[in-house]
Amino acid sequence: MNNAIVSARGVRKSFGSVEVLKGIDLDLFEGQVMCLLGPSGSGKSTFLRCINHLESVTEGVLTVHGQLVGYRNRRGRLYESSEAEICRDREDIGMVFQHFNLFPHMTVLENLTVGPVAVRGRSRKASVARATELLDQVGLADKLKAYPRQLSGGQQQRVAIARALAMEPRLMLFDEPTSALDPELVGDVLAVMKNLAADGMTMLVVTHEMGFAREVADSVVFMDGGVVVESGPPAQVLGAPAHERTRAFLSAVL
Amino acid sequence: MTLPGLRSSSDASEVEHGPSLIDLQQMKVIPRRHVWRWIGVAVVLLLVAILVHGFITNPRYQWDVVGNYLFSTAVLSGLVRTLELTAIAMTIAIALGVVLALMRLSRSGVLRLVSGVFIWLFRGTPLLVQLLFWNFISALYPTFSLGIPFFGPDFVSVDANRVIPTFVAAILGLALYESAYMAEIVRAGILSVDRGQFEAAQSLGMRRSLLMRKIVLPQAMRMIIPPTGNETIGMLKFSSLVSVIGLPELLNSVQLIYARTFETIPMLIVATIWYLVVTTVLTIGQFFIERHFGRGTQRQSPGSPVAQFLRKAFTFHAAARPGGGS
């Protein structure tokens, strides 16, 4: 194995008879930001969800932090991971969803502390201090006691990012984080993500924000029909795409 | 709001076309009269008056007897027994209902099937039949033994009539019957929670048990509580059925009294009054529980139950405040 944070070799995923991923190969290295682009149904969200085992890989090898996802290698045999092992792997992977998925029955502060306290076993005091700090970073220090319903979409998504960061993850997954937002609220969320990238967080971002990809990403992967069509630095993939399919997609979205 | 442009243009023709916009704004508004509504109110009030007059003047209600027995020891101990039955049976039913619902939603086909058959059996037979069954269980299993199943020796063996006295039979009957309904209510509540909540909790590394306890069940509670309130009130009344196996709960207590004194109607009124009192208390309790689990879903508190009742009872112009709804 190489020293990539995420490494995929021939990853396939089927839902029943429908094959959504048809052999994905890619590497994401520490501190890198990778953007996954592509039309809807191209399998980019499914691939993202395989990384923290919300979906299980049907075939191929997917490792995260050098650890096989969903299996443990013991004495030359692959044992399916126990629930505890899967959960432990997920602790190190933050995920941000298109529809925020904040816990509506908890205040913003509780949303940020429930993971560290109940899963990581941190003290409540330390978790509250860290949560306050994170909310300050995303510009919502005054919303500590608010419930998610009382916030705008953009504010909710920034809380969701802070919630994921509260677990001190080593990798952040973003599943179309701005697609459900009003256009004028997108900027705040992207600004938070840019800061995060500047701080050296390893990020895998499924997005339709070409500007973000061009400006922030270290590499861009264009997917279509369950395969990687092309990948490389943003200037190359977005500026001078080699494939007809990529060109057609880019001209449609830009 | 004034509309100067309009006003100046209509100035000249004001005499022929009536008052200007400014004048219209200063006129008094007479609300629409709801003639039929007032007639309806009058008729209903008349009927209520006749009924109340009957309550007071008909001597066969024997209100003095009602008064004498309302707080009598026999009735109060019956009431306490009814409350015990309701509370214990409902607690067991809710706990068992959650377990059955989780089994029903399990990935294991065996657990799903067992839960399904349990619900089918206990929901599919009348409560009265089940109560009688539990009461006569000793005919079916004369002794209960603790030991190794099928071939091993018994460590302890006891007489069934001793471990299942009438009170336990009543609890078993009520709780198992009710748990089948609670299972369906809890299952509906869990299914009503958005998929994204499960995924968000999983991605924080929560195990299934923690995810259920911290994230899913608290949200499902919002859907579970109103029907559970109904079920609790239903249980209070269903508990009167255990009078057939001779347990002195509220109904059985008043039956014992009127069998002796023949004051049937007043004694039934005594029971009715207590059932209504408890139901009222339960309804108020339900309001507070609902408000607790509804946090985060409303932007403002709906106010105390009394305030709500007053608002509902005395709102004649429901649509008077534009945008006040929802």
Query: Any alpha helices (H) in chain A, and if so which ranges?
Result: 44-51, 83-91, 108-114, 124-137, 153-166, 183-198, 210-216, 234, 244-253
Q: Are A201 and A174 in contact (CB under 8 A)?
A: no
Specify the higher pLDDT residue, A40 or B175. B175
List the single residue in B203, B210, B218 with the smallest CB-CB distance to A52. B203
List the single residue in A89, A149, A160 with the smallest CB-CB distance to B297. A149
CA-to-CA distance for B101 and B227, rounded, in angstroms? 15
Q: Tokens 């500047």 appear where?
A: A198
The confidence score (pLDDT) of residue B165 equals 81
Find chain A residues with C-beta within 8 A of B295's C-beta: 105, 147
Residue B241 pLDDT exceeds 80: yes
The confidence score (pLDDT) of residue B310 equals 57
Cβ–Cβ pairs < 8 A, chains A and B? 77
Mean pLDDT of the A161-178 span:
95
Find chain A residues with C-beta within 8 A of B224's C-beta: none
**Model confidence pLDDT, tens digit, residues B103-126:** 999 889 999 999 999 999 999 999
Residue A240 pLDDT exceeds 80: yes
Q: For residue A65, with 0-12 CB atoms within 10 Å meaning exposed, 13-18 middle and 19 or more buried, which class applies?
A: middle
CB-based contact A90 B204, cutoff 8 Å: yes
Q: Are A115 and A163 in contact (CB under 8 A)?
A: yes
Q: Are A52 and B203 in contact (CB under 8 A)?
A: yes
Distance from CA of B185 to the nearest CA of A (A): 20
Find chain B residues with C-beta within 8 A of A46's C-beta: none
Specify the higher pLDDT residue, B299 or B119. B119
Distance from CA of A94 to the nearest CA of B (A): 7
> What is this model's ipTM?
0.92
The confidence score (pLDDT) of residue B163 equals 63
The CA distances from residue B276 to A173, A205, B263, B279, B307, in Å, are 56, 60, 20, 5, 21
Nearest of A160, A171, A163, A148 to residue A114 by alpha carbon: A163
CB-based contact A147 B218, cutoff 8 Å: no
CA-to-CA distance for A230 and A244, rounded, in angstroms? 11
Mean pLDDT of chain A: 93
Nearest of B240, B233, B234 to residue B271 by alpha carbon: B240
Mean pLDDT of the B236-260 span:
90
Residue B269 pLDDT exceeds 90: yes
Find chain A residues with C-beta within 8 A of B197's C-beta: 101, 103
CA-to-CA distance for B252 and B240, rounded, in angstroms? 7
Find chain B residues with C-beta within 8 A of A105's C-beta: 218-219, 293, 295-297
CA-to-CA distance for B72 and A32, rounded, in angstroms? 80
